[in-house]
Chain A
Amino acid sequence: MNLLDQVKELEKAGIISEEKGLEIIEFLEKNNHSGSNRLFVVFGVIGASLIGLGLILIVAHNWDNLSKTLKTILAFIPLLTAQALAAFALFKKPESQAWRETTATFLCFSVACCLALISQIYNLQGELSSFILSWMILSLPIVYVLRSSFISLIYILGISFFLFETNLDFYNVATVFNFSWLWYLAIIPFYLWICKNRSKSNTSYFHHWIIPLSISLLLICFIREPDTLFLLIYAGLFGSFLQIGQLKYFEQFRLIKNGYFIIATFASIFAFFVFSFEEVWKEIPIKASFDMLSSNIPVFILLIIANGLATALLFYNFIRKRNTKGFSLFPASFLYLIFTVVYFIGMNNTFLATILSNITLFIIGVLIIMDGIMKDHLGVLNIGLLTMSILICCRFFDLEFGFVVKGIAFILLGISFFIVNFIMLRKRKNNES
């Protein structure tokens, strides 16, 4: 029985009045319409993407039999058509997001098609990265004029590829600090706009994942051998992401939609797992990197920015949350500070640094489990359990225990997983009833 029939049943039974029933039906119809509208957007974007990709494949065929002039005219046709459709969407269907996204997608791929065809017709050379840059620069206005979230995602991916490709050079330090990074910043105003105006859309969730992932990867471009100070920069970066993920804005979403929080938590905990092995501390040249710091001003600046931002955000969240009921900052919030301390200890005493890493992981695992229980959040609880499990697994490979002992420990671990989850679910059922 569908919802509309159920409403009519409730009306007949006298549980709701006819007027209320009409209001409910109107509301349901409005939601259905926006649901099908959303579906149309998705199919429209997929359809436009396929058309765009098909056009690009046609490019790959080559047109030797046509004159250069005719080829040039044909090269502009997809672009002109896409621009005409975009104008129609913008001025005749301004309220329809489906039209905007579809025509924006078509226009974006038509730009690529035109550039590729012209390059091919006139044998114009260039690396793939410069082609991607040209394409992205010409797609950036589409993001702002048509307010297309999908093209914004394409832009972030494209520009990240360009920046990674052109700046990843392990030998030449100076060239990495250039103005090309500003192209990445060009999308931030639109990102902030969709955070405010399309906060519940799926594309905004994708942005909350893609932006922290791309920034994390792009930071690799600044790493130089044998520099280990980047460990501290990454610690600060993930500390910042974790605090961004705990801002009030993200409290309205489910955890899975908070890319900042999940990426930062897993990355921070993963780093500690890696450094829970003494061999790792012995391999990395911490002292040599620290000696290099005075001659490596850009790295020093990045270090200050990353850790300064993390600390400022931590402070901000602390001040904001301390007066709220059930206040707690996520336990992993302090990992970047702890890592910095352990890093400097590791410069002189690798054994102590290893012990401290293991203790930190143990405490963080316990605190996350407690946090999950307190907040009645299965996801957080299981992150804590997973942390403890992996810690025990790592130490079991590290230390020498018999198979029987290990086997019993794993069984007990598995049982505790089930018990804790069972208790949580039971508690939730009791609360609901």
Chain B
Amino acid sequence: MNPKVLLLIAFIAMVGIQLYFPARMIWGSEQAIKTGKEFKFKVRAKDPYDPFRGKYVTLNFFGTSSVFEENEKLEKGDEVFATFKIDQNGYAVLDSIYINKPQNTDTFLKTSINSKVSIPNNKMRVSIALPFEKYFLEEGKAYAVEQAYNDALRQNKKGNYAVVYLHKGNAVMNALFIANRPAETYTESDE
């Protein structure tokens, strides 16, 4: 084959891969929001900096641990599939964990075990890692959000949660609310 034709094919393949990757990321995210189930995860917030991807708040979540029957095969760091239920306040809490993909539902999260502690009566307390810890915001707003969260905590205001869509193991965080207000609406003047 003509070297120029080969080069053209190689170039087209390179361009194709470089466009496909980000496009797939977008499609996966949009699919999860369209077909996945919405959960509200109650949050705590902090404010560091990622030099590659911008300003964000780091989120820690409640409801990520639960007590189960002891399973000696499970260790910290093992990959598991987690399902969630809604508590009386409307927030998501860990319901079950599976070693294999659950067959009876598409609303599960692929994650790993953060910690496992054996407790009496042949039980174990397991905590899972949530793969959505960062919420990207404009500079200045991230700090304002952190301050707003600290104020909400001091004044015992409710409504601090992240809206996450779960679908076939993937999780997409779509919104963050502090004191029932979207994080994007906080500005430096709110500090």
Contact with A along B102-137 (1 / 0, CB 8 A): 000000000000000000000000000001111111
Does A123 belong to the interface (CB within 8 Å)? yes
Determine if A128 and B50 form an interchain contact, defined as CB atoms under 8 angstroms apart: yes
Determine if A62 and B21 form an interchain contact, defined as CB atoms under 8 angstroms apart: no
Q: Which B residues lie within 8 Å of A76 (CB)? A: 19, 22
Contact with A along B21-38 (1 / 0, CB 8 A): 110011001000000000
Q: How far does the Cβ of B11 sit from chain A's closest Cβ, in whole Å?
A: 5
Interface band, chain B: 35 or more
CA distance A123 to B172 in the complex (A): 7
CA distance A141 to B19 in the complex (A): 13
Determine if B131 and A56 form an interchain contact, defined as CB atoms under 8 angstroms apart: no
Determine if B18 and A79 form an interchain contact, defined as CB atoms under 8 angstroms apart: yes
**Which A62-114 residues have C-beta < 8 A from chain B?**
62-64, 72, 75-76, 79, 83, 86-87, 90-91, 111-112, 114
CA distance A82 to B29 in the complex (A): 26
Q: Which residues from chain A sit less than 8 Å from chain B, CB to CB?
A: 56, 59-64, 72, 75-76, 79, 83, 86-87, 90-91, 111-112, 114-116, 118-120, 122-126, 128, 131, 134, 138, 141-142, 144-145, 172
Determine if B10 and A138 form an interchain contact, defined as CB atoms under 8 angstroms apart: no
Q: How far does the Cβ of A398 sit from chain B's closest Cβ, in whole Å?
A: 45
A116-B54, A126-B131, A138-B17 known; 6 new pairs, CB 8 Å cut-off, are A76-B22, A91-B7, A118-B25, A131-B53, A145-B11, A145-B14
Determine if A64 and B54 form an interchain contact, defined as CB atoms under 8 angstroms apart: no
CA distance A62 to B136 in the complex (A): 8
Q: How far does the Cβ of B188 sit from chain A's closest Cβ, in whole Å?
A: 13
Q: How far does the Cβ of B125 sit from chain A's closest Cβ, in whole Å?
A: 22
Q: How far does the Cβ of A355 sit from chain B's closest Cβ, in whole Å?
A: 47
Determine if B50 and A138 form an interchain contact, defined as CB atoms under 8 angstroms apart: no
- What residue in chain B is nearest A72 (Cβ atoms)? B26
Determine if A141 and B137 form an interchain contact, defined as CB atoms under 8 angstroms apart: no
- Most chain A CB within 10 A, of B15, B19, B131, B134, is at B15
Does B139 belong to the interface (CB within 8 Å)? yes
- What residue in chain A is nearest B55 (Cβ atoms)? A62
- What residue in chain A is nearest B131 (Cβ atoms)? A125
Determine if B18 and A60 form an interchain contact, defined as CB atoms under 8 angstroms apart: no
CA distance A114 to B23 in the complex (A): 10
Does B66 belong to the interface (CB within 8 Å)? no
Q: Which B residues lie within 8 Å of A115 (CB)? A: 21-22, 25
Determine if B25 and A60 form an interchain contact, defined as CB atoms under 8 angstroms apart: no
Q: Which A residues lie within 8 Å of B135 (CB)? A: 123
Q: Which A residues lie within 8 Å of B54 (CB)? A: 59-62, 116, 120
Q: Which A residues lie within 8 Å of B18 (CB)? A: 79, 83, 111, 114, 138, 141
Q: Which A residues lie within 8 Å of B138 (CB)? A: 61-64
Q: Which A residues lie within 8 Å of B173 (CB)? A: 123, 125
Does B96 belong to the interface (CB within 8 Å)? no
- What residue in chain A is nearest B52 (Cβ atoms)? A116
Q: Which B residues lie within 8 Å of A90 (CB)? A: 7, 11
